[in-house]
């Protein structure tokens, strides 16, 4: 066995259908008694119901989370937390809401309790992002890692099937890149393969029956593991491309991951054969890239960049940006093959 370094991240996880009922206990275990509840405007009702459930342990609701955490929103949320005397924040929602919680924690050290309702996995990472003047900067800081995570599959049955599928493939992308990361290690790789397996099993069931709690539990369990992989090891070409494309052309996050992943796996296929075998095995497919592509296509996810608003002219812009400060990747990132990758993703061709 090759030598390796394993960096475990602290996390207390409460998992299971109905686990939301332990919220009050968990706030107490954080040594807190006045929780600010965060959500997007779309999930305000859920946030308010949570605050009502908490009674005097709720300090207020801030339902203004949006994608990519604008600094102005983060500032308003921090001011509101101070004004209502909050001593912890609860983020109920997807990566956007968790991201707002992280932005608060970054400057106030307020403990965050996350209640994920998508499969994005942000709750398991110390990675934060903030957008100012149209530019998103990201960083790593342990203070933003949620102290407690409550995974209640019952909260995910309302996630529309289309978003469930792309969000699940977003999670698979974390694990796939973790398997061939420069700092990959056998323990994180176990989580990665198991995460992909759980999502590969759960997503088709969710697409057939969105309120199937067992299928939802499988997906949320997979998302947890894939998020933990993202939090533990480095990311490569896929994440670089998605950040570049998403940030430059304001593309939907999970869909962009879904479209790009098969093509990056095809690009890296020969440079990371062991990782590809594990991804394929987890998906019961012959080939990793085709397995991900077929999962997306069979259940109606977008498979081409042109479907989500990218134009042919955008490809050269994306290419230049992706070649600037590239992340480490198992196969060198070079202009001509990267251009071919982007064209295949633009057209939505099944990777050969």
Task: Tell me, residue by residue from 159 to 188, as one string, x for binding to ligand NAD by CB under 6 A and - for no binding.
Answer: x---x---x---------------------
Segment 19-48, which members bind ligand NAD (CB under 6 A)? Answer: 40, 42-43
With binding defined as CB under 6 A, does residue 202 bind ligand NAD? no
Report the residue from 36, 64, 86, 95 that binds ligand NAD according to the rule CB under 6 A: 95
Report the residue from 73, 117, 268, 329 that binds ligand NAD according to the rule CB under 6 A: 117
Minimum CB–partner distance for residue 187 and ligand NAD (Å): 19
Are 206 and 164 in contact by the 8 Å Cβ rule? The answer is yes
Q: Give the binding range for ligand NAD (CB under 6 A) out of 93-101, 182-190, 272-280, 282-290.
A: 93-101
Minimum CB–partner distance for residue 295 and ligand NAD (Å): 17
Minimum CB–partner distance for residue 133 and ligand NAD (Å): 17
The residue count for binding ligand NAD (CB under 6 A) is 28
Choice between 26 and 123, CB closer to ligand NAD: 123
Task: Tell me, residue by residue from 250 to 289, as one string, x for binding to ligand NAD by CB under 6 A and - for no binding.
Answer: ---xx-----------------------------------
Beta strand pairing call for 127-132 and 135-140: antiparallel
Segment 318-347, which members bind ligand NAD (CB under 6 A)? Answer: none
Distance between CA atoms of 331 and 324, rounded to whole angstroms? 16
Minimum CB–partner distance for residue 307 and ligand NAD (Å): 18
Minimum CB–partner distance for residue 81 and ligand NAD (Å): 20
Q: Give the binding range for ligand NAD (CB under 6 A) out of 152-160, 188-196, 314-322, 338-346.
A: 152-160
Minimum CB–partner distance for residue 120 and ligand NAD (Å): 3
| Residue 86 region by backbone torsions, left for phi larger than 0, else alpha for psi between -120 and 50, else beta | beta
Task: Tell me, residue by residue from 41 to 80, as one string, x for binding to ligand NAD by CB under 6 A and - for no binding.
Answer: -xx-----------------------xx------------
SS (HEC) of the chain? CCCCCCCCCCCEEEECCCHHHHHHHHHHHCCCCCEEEECCHHHHHHHHHHHHHHHHHEEEEECCCCCCCEHHHHHHHHHHHHHCCCCEEEEEECHHHHHHHHHHHHHHCCCEEEEECCCCCHHHCCEEEEEECCEEEEEECHHHCCCEEEECHHHHCCCCHHHHHHHHHHHHHHHHHHHCCCCCCHHHHHHHHHHHHHHHHHHHHHHHCCCCHHHHHHHHHHHHHHHHHHHHCCCCHHHHHHHHHHHHHCCCHHHHHHHHHHHHHHHHCCCCHHHHHHHHHHCCCCCHHHHHHHHHHHCCCCCCHHHHCCCCCHHHHHHHHHHCCCCCCCCCCCHHHHHHHHHHHHHCCCCC
Minimum CB–partner distance for residue 278 and ligand NAD (Å): 22
Minimum CB–partner distance for residue 97 and ligand NAD (Å): 6
Q: Which residue's structure tokens are 């992280």?
A: 102
Nearest to 151 by CA among 185, 205, 189, 113: 113
Minimum CB–partner distance for residue 156 and ligand NAD (Å): 5
Task: Tell me, residue by residue from 217 to 256, as one string, x for binding to ligand NAD by CB under 6 A and - for no binding.
Answer: -------------x----------------------xx--
Report the residue from 19, 125, 185, 256 that binds ligand NAD according to the rule CB under 6 A: 125
Q: Would you tell me which residues interact with ligand NAD (CB under 6 A)? A: 40, 42-43, 67-68, 93-97, 99, 117-118, 120-122, 125, 127, 129, 155-156, 158-159, 163, 167, 230, 253-254
């Amino acid at each position: 066995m090759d030598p390796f370094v394993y960096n475990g991240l602290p996390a207390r996880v409460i998992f299971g259908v109905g686990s939301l009922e332990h919220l009050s206990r968990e706030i107490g275990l954080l040594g807190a008694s006045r929780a600010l509840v965060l959500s997007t405007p779309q999930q305000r009702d859920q946030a308010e119901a949570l605050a009502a459930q908490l009674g005097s342990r709720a300090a207020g609701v801030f339902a203004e989370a949006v994608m990519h955490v604008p600094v102005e929103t983060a500032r308003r949320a921090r001011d509101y937390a101070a004004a209502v005397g909050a001593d912890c924040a609860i983020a109920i929602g997807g990566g956007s809401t968790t991201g707002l919680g992280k932005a608060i924690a970054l400057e106030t050290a307020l403990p965050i309790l996350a209640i994920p309702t998508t499969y994005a996995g942000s709750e398991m990472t110390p990675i934060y992002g903030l957008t100012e003047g149209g530019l998103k900067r990201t960083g790593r800081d342990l203070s933003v890692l949620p102290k407690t995570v409550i995974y209640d599959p019952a909260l995910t049955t309302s996630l529309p099937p289309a978003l469930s599928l792309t969000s699940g493939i977003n999670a698979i992308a974390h694990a796939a890149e973790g398997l061939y990361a420069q700092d990959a290690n056998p323990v994180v790789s176990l989580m990665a393969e198991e995460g992909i397996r759980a999502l590969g099993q759960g997503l088709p069931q969710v697409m057939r029956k969105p309120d199937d709690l067992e299928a939802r539990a499988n997906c949320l369990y997979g998302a947890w593991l894939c998020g933990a992989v993202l939090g533990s090891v480095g990311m490569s070409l896929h994440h670089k491309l998605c950040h570049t494309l998403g940030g430059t052309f304001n593309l939907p996050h999970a869909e962009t991951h879904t479209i790009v992943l098969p093509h990056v796996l095809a690009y890296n296929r020969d440079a990371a054969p062991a990782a590809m075998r594990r991804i394929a095995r987890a998906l019961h497919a012959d080939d990793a890239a085709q397995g991900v592509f077929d999962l997306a296509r069979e259940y109606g996810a977008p498979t081409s960049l042109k479907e989500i608003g990218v134009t042919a002219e955008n490809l050269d812009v994306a290419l230049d940006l992706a070649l600037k400060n590239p992340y480490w990747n198992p196969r060198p990132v070079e202009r001509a093959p990267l251009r071919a990758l982007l064209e295949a993703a633009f057209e939505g061709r099944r990777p050969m």
